[in-house]
């Protein structure tokens, strides 16, 4: 939509500070700002600008100093724009007076009527020996009639900006008044006309060129999760869940609030399959009139559901889902936001095996005592091997506290070596020990 500019929409309405994001704005990224400041500052007064340089993501091109990597907001409906850049440009003369003027971290602001401004932090020194002074957020130039587009070039006003008829600026020719006010008298000559010949002919502000890439704002309900960074499959954490864009106008008589659920994606697991989920919060009055909600949910990297199935977030997709309570009468509030769970580092284990009797008579069965130690709860299988073949096994349960007895099969007369292996599990590494049994007649 092309904006209409009214006579009442004057540049005086544009503030020098970074504008708030316009309503319904797209994100703006990869923005560039190209500006010479003036032809005098850029080229024609080169003999006076021995301190000319830049820092940060700024390069000097034929068209001016170019700032890159800017970001902010852009409203495609009105052209309202807010952009911030990093980096700086310095002009001055270290040979004559030792002064410098730096424009740092510029910002471009444009309102819905097309009234814009270019501002920056102003840093200056009046001489090599003087201290550095900083004035934040100084409006440098105004930008009238900015097109509602993602790429534009606008020439700032010059004549009549100041008060005509005064000794300086001549004919009111100057940059924006806040810049003049922020500078000491000795440095103002760069930014206003002190005569009608020589360098005064190239002091006028150069055109300001801006381009950006607009990234459309997300539509519909959105969920963000705080406190879910760095989780593993062994983690249990309470996360903060914030929802926006949940249109309360979609509510019907059958809708009685909102569910916020932890577990698999309900679009796959089923909205009518509550046993598979690992945690739930019911918000009877959510969303609020603005379509928002905030709550806390407990999440686990690994859990066993109501059907006995174990879910592992390092191997399967788990996250936070939302949907309308109680009957899922509408789908407008359906969301699923995955949470990343890294594979958990396994706890080490130590297996100690011993025989109740290390020497037995032929025809008897030896009793093997096994103890497994670990910082994690011991669960899993213990196997007894002879010459690589499993001859006995037994499962250790959590209630066994790492201890189990295994009766070995009968053996022939002689010496027998058994390898006792605790096979570990998803949380515990395997370990083993050896025992020697002697069987006599």
Give me the DSSP letters along 15-60: -SSPPPPPTTPEEEEEEEEEE-SBHIIIIITGGG-TT-EEESSEEE
Task: Examine the domain organization and report whether 186 and 242 are in the same domain.
Answer: no
Residue closest to 121 by CA, chosen among 81, 70, 72, 179: 179
Give the total number of structural domains in the chain. Answer: 3
Q: Are residues 194 and 71 in the same domain?
A: yes
Residue 48 has pLDDT above 80, yes or no: no
Q: Which helix (H) or strand (E) holds 329?
A: none
Q: Which range marks the domain in which residue 274 is found?
A: 222-339
Which residues are registered as beta bridge partners of 311?
Answer: 303
193: in domain? yes
The verdict on residue 6 lying in a domain is no
CA–CA separation, 321 and 266 (whole Å): 7
- Domain boundary among the residues 339, 372, 393 is at 339
Residues 27 and 131 in one domain: yes
Bridge-partner residues for 82, per DSSP?
Answer: 73, 109
In CATH, what number is assigned to the domain containing residue 311?
Answer: 2.60.40.230
Name the one residue in this structure whose structure tokens are 């509030």: 333
- pLDDT of 7-17, one tens digit each? 333 333 333 33
At 262-307, the pLDDT tens digits run 999 999 999 999 999 999 999 999 999 999 999 999 999 999 999 9
Does residue 3 belong to any structural domain of this protein? no
SS3 content of the chain, % helix, strand, coil (to 5): 10, 45, 45
Same domain, 297 and 413: no
Kindly state whether residue 411 falls inside one of the protein's structural domains: yes
Residue 359 Cα distances to 13, 268, 327, angstroms? 99, 59, 68
Pairing mode of beta strands 208-215, 151-154: antiparallel
> Are 15 and 115 in a shared domain?
yes
Q: Is residue 4 part of a domain?
A: no
Confidence grade of residue 52 (pLDDT, cut at 50, 70, 90): confident
Domain boundary among 169, 184, 215: 215
What's the predicted TM-score (pTM) here? 0.53
Sign of the torsion angle spanned by Cα atoms 190, 193, 194, 199? positive
Widest distance between CA atoms in the chain: 127
pLDDT single digits (tens) 197-234: 988 999 999 999 999 999 887 678 999 999 999 999 98
Same domain? For 435 and 298 the reply is no
In a domain, 22, yes or no: yes
Beta-carbon count within 10 A of 351 CB: 21
Let me know whether 37 and 156 are in one domain. yes
Verify that 239 and 362 share a domain, yes or no.
no
- Terminal-residue alpha carbon distance, the chain: 102
- Domain presence at residue 92: yes
My answer on whether 228 and 185 are in the same domain is: no
Residue 314 sits at φ, ψ, to 5 deg, of -80, -15
Residue 377 within any structural domain of the chain: yes
Query: Is residue 257 located within the same domain as residue 113?
Result: no
CATH number of the domain that residue 392 is part of: 2.60.40.1930
How many CB atoms neighbour CB 211 within 10 A?
A: 15
Same domain, 325 and 354: no
Last residue within a domain, chosen from 215, 236, 252: 215
Give the number of residues written for the chain.
441
List pLDDT tens digits, range 240-268.
999 999 999 999 999 999 999 999 999 99
Whether the upstream peptide bond of residue 100 has omega within 30° of 0, thus cis, is no
pLDDT tens, position by position, 135-144:
999 999 999 9
Same domain, residue pair 27 and 119: yes
């Amino acid at each position: 939509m092309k904006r209409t500019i009214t006579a009442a929409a004057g540049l005086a309405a544009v503030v020098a500070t970074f504008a708030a994001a316009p309503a319904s704005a797209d994100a703006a990224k990869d923005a560039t700002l190209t500006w010479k400041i003036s032809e005098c500052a850029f080229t024609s007064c080169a003999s006076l600008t021995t301190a000319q340089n830049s820092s940060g993501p700024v390069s000097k091109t034929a068209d001016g100093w170019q700032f890159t990597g800017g970001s902010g907001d852009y409203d495609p409906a009105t052209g309202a724009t807010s952009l911030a850049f990093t980096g700086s440009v310095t002009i001055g003369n270290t040979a004559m007076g030792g002064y410098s003027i730096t424009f740092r971290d510029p910002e471009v602001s444009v309102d819905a009527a097309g009234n814009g401004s270019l501002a920056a932090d102003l840093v200056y020194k009046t001489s090599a020996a003087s201290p550095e002074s900083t004035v934040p957020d100084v409006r440098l130039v105004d930008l009238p009639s900015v097109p509602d587009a993602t790429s534009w070039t606008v020439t700032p006003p010059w004549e009549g900006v100041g008060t005509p008829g005064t000794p300086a600026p001549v004919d009111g020719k100057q940059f924006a008044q806040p810049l003049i006010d922020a500078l000491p008298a000795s440095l103002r000559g760069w930014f206003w006309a002190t005569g009608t010949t020589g360098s005064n002919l190239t002091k006028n502000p150069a055109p300001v060129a801006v381009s950006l890439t607009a990234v459309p704002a997300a539509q519909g309900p959105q969920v963000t999760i705080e406190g879910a960074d760095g989780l593993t499959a062994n983690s249990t954490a309470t996360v903060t869940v914030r929802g926006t864009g949940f249109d309360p106008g979609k509510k019907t008589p059958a809708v009685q609030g909102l569910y916020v659920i932890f577990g698999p994606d309900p679009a796959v697991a089923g909205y009518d399959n509550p046993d598979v989920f690992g945690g739930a919060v019911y918000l009877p009055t959510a969303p609020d009139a603005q379509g928002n909600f905030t709550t806390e949910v407990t999440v686990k990297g690994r859990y066993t559901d109501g059907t006995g199935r174990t879910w592992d977030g390092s191997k399967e997709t788990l996250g936070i889902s939302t949907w309308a309570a109680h009957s899922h009468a509408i789908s407008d509030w359906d969301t699923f936001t995955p949470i990343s769970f890294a594979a958990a580092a396994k706890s080490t284990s130590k297996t100690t095996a011993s025989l109740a009797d290390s020497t037995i008579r032929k025809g008897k069965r030896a009793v093997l005592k096994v103890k497994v130690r670990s910082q994690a709860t011991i669960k899993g299988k213990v196997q007894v091997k002879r010459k690589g073949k499993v001859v006995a096994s037994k499962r250790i349960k959590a209630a066994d506290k790492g201890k189990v007895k295994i009766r070995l099969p009968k053996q022939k007369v002689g010496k027998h070596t058994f390898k006792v292996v605790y096979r570990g599990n998803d949380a515990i590494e395997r370990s083993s020990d050896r025992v020697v049994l002697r069987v006599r007649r």
